[in-house]
Structure 1
């Protein structure tokens, strides 16, 4: 396997005790914790500020606010993006380093499921789907729902084959596809799998509004008022196509490109930026916590997503929710969330063409009227994907009865 906010007023804050092998949640009111027995568990592969993780956390916020006892378990901690959230557990506080660490995670997952005995388990991302639903089935959990957040062709071979088997024979009692794009890609699976498949589009929460001024937001990133700032948010991986984006932005005067995210390609991107020398216009920010996205978007003039493929467009929709004009790759998932290019909701470009990406960056920098029009369109895009509808859809698809 590849190393792949507290709730509202009056709710008990729960924190992870990292020194216990069973990863217990420590509650300020243990009697209350026993009374509110967890009926729903969400399982995610790793803790980091990724799209699947944000969807799980947004769903948990809705369920907790509605009084539904829910816990969100991460198999391991990659980065501490959601440590301050209520009812969050990490089964291991670091990425697994070898076979023994994987075995520890599996034992802790099995023991915790047997102890918690939830009625429903919902899993997010391919390894959580396979192992979370398998151990849920073995421990007698009646509702086991796997959320498909990636295209099957992009899933590692072992997880892909197990996913196909488990969805067909019923280890998964239900399967959620997160977009029309993903749903269509799963239609060639066996009848047993397709019968369990339900479409529940991701929901998007608007990022927290930055309380300060635009000038203060820019100052926090050491940006001047007279420069065009274009941002992108995403894991630093080959599929996100940052290499082409950085080369396309090189030498563009009056423009700064901010890349928020972390991942396996960081060292290579740093070397690329260093090699471009004075021609580079790019800054790597590292992983920006979800609570800080509002500040990042407040400092920006536009958002760009250069990905070679996506199963859904969570990051551009978050930027759209902040009113930023967006430019996106011309790929099926982006047409799904932003409409056809002719609709004019976003600026589309060919992600395999540095020239096309450079042209999009130049237009965003130079055409204020274009930015203003796209900004107006952005708010309507974000409104079409409700977090409440997503959370309700997950409960309905999973068979959870409250």
Structure 2
């Protein structure tokens, strides 16, 4: 299964600065006539891949596309109120029979939508979504490699590698040089389809003061209290236990975590075990419009994630003016930098002492924190949403035009 004109090399699209199942049967995108693009991924929740898809759907609609988002299942209510969104299932299919029913429904929904192109996100979104799109007769399928290698099950990587080399995906988008490097040992037929498009992001500034933001979020700190925080899924790969273990180092520290996930109880239990339960604040999943207020409430943003392809949450925090301490992953060093220098202080997040020392440096060195903030403010110019949208627009129009010529 191949895109039309599959023998052409991909264009260079990198930009400068290198609710329940069954609702929303129709995809309500921009009314202007234009190519119809369907964005597909597994779960509906507020996380990095979903944020990118949300921004991209909006930006493409502004450029005359008709857009819709189709999720395999609804994990949270993050997308319930958004137009142009549909869910194949209320929850994750967990049995072979449930998966078969889900997959047939996915194919039917795509066939009814009749998109000119499908954009798939995350590893299972690529594998399952692209297969369903091809069975539904979609001529253009573009995958996005926005699941880090360490977050992808080996079998899924093997299937993705096999399908990509055989043309199930017409193009494969990566969003960082580090992510592209993860594909260096893939077959040439796979790598020939790879296109680098940097993520864009929306600034998360807030009109509130720090005190107002804390009050609005119910984060009451005693005088002299300092607030560390992170926006992330509560998942072991985000390594948030390392952030919790920062609390015993200083009784003035509090930690606020914005997100939902299976590790919530474990993190709360760890804080209690360390005698810091009252200083851990689990605020839950926040809608995008409230993330800026959460960031304004913080003194330091801590990002100990074990694997990323971009690190959107850390980028948003740095641009919002929060000093950032991040795990020393190559991709985070790549992304969290501008012409003014690094936008974060990096430390090995698997080393509790090293992470604690980095946080302590930022707390005690206001000049260092100010330098990081100045650099972080420049990230808006490095990763503008318009540049991402223009790159996808060029890629989509080229692939759709090629398909129509066949």
Alignment TM class, shorter chain as reference: 0.7 to 0.9
CA offsets per residue over residues 43-92 of structure 1, 9 Å max, x none?
01101111111000000111122231010111111111122223111111
Give the corresponding residue for 2:303.
Answer: 305
1:152 and 1:186 in contact (8 A); partners too = no
Q: Secondary structure at the match of 1:118?
A: coil
Report the equivalent of 2:198: 201
Is 1:283 the equivalent of 2:284? no
Q: Which residue of 2 is the match for residue 210 of structure 1?
A: 206
Residues 110 and 308 of structure 1, relative CA distance in 2, 3 Å threshold: same
| Higher RCO (C-alpha 8 Å, min separation 6) | 2
The count of aligned residue pairs is 380
User: For residues 308 and 330 of structure 1, what CA distance do their matches in structure 2 show?
Assistant: 9
C-alpha deviation, 1:383, in angstroms? 2.4
Contact 1:302 1:371 in 2 (8 A): no
Cα distance per residue 1:279-302 (max 9 Å; x no partner)? 763322222222210110111122
Q: Which stretches in structure 2 are left out of the alignment for 5+ residues?
A: 1-18, 402-406
Deviation at 1:372, TM superposition (A): 2.1
Cα separation, partners in 2 of 1:296 and 1:112, compared to 1, 3 Å: same
Residue 317 of structure 1 contacts residue 382 of structure 1 at CA under 8 Å; is this kept in 2?
A: no
1:147 Cα deviation after fit? 0.2
Partner SS for 1:309: coil
Q: Give 1:24 deviation, angstroms.
A: 0.8
Q: Which residue of 2 aligns with 1:6?
A: none
Q: 1:247 maps to which residue? A: 245
Contact 2:310 2:335 in 1 (8 A): yes
Q: 2:99 aligns with which of 88, 99, 102?
A: 102
Measured in 2, the distance between the counterparts of 1:242 and 1:260 equals 11
Paired residue for 2:228?
230
In structure 1, the partner of 2:151 is 154
Conserved? CA contact 1:119–1:400, under 8 Å = no
Q: Pick one of 268, 276, 285 that aligns with 2:266.
A: 268
Show the counterpart of 1:46: 43
For the aligned residue pairs, the C-alpha RMSD in angstroms reads 2.5
CA distance in 2, matches of 1:386, 1:59: 12
2:369 matched to 1:371? Answer: yes
1:124 to 117, 121, 124: 121
Asked whether the 8 Å contact 2:21–2:86 carries over to 1, the reply is: no
Runs of 4+ in 1 over 6 A off after TM superposition: none
Per-residue Cα deviation, 1:173-231 (whole angstroms, up to 9, x for no partner): 11111211110111211111011111112111112x43433322111223346422121
Return the match for 1:332 from 330, 333, 338: 330
Bigger mean CA deviation after superposition, 160-169 or 272-281: 272-281
Give unpaired runs (5+ residues) of structure 1.
1-15
Structure 2 Cα separation of the partners of residues 203 and 173 of structure 1: 22
* TM-score scaled by length of structure 1: 0.87
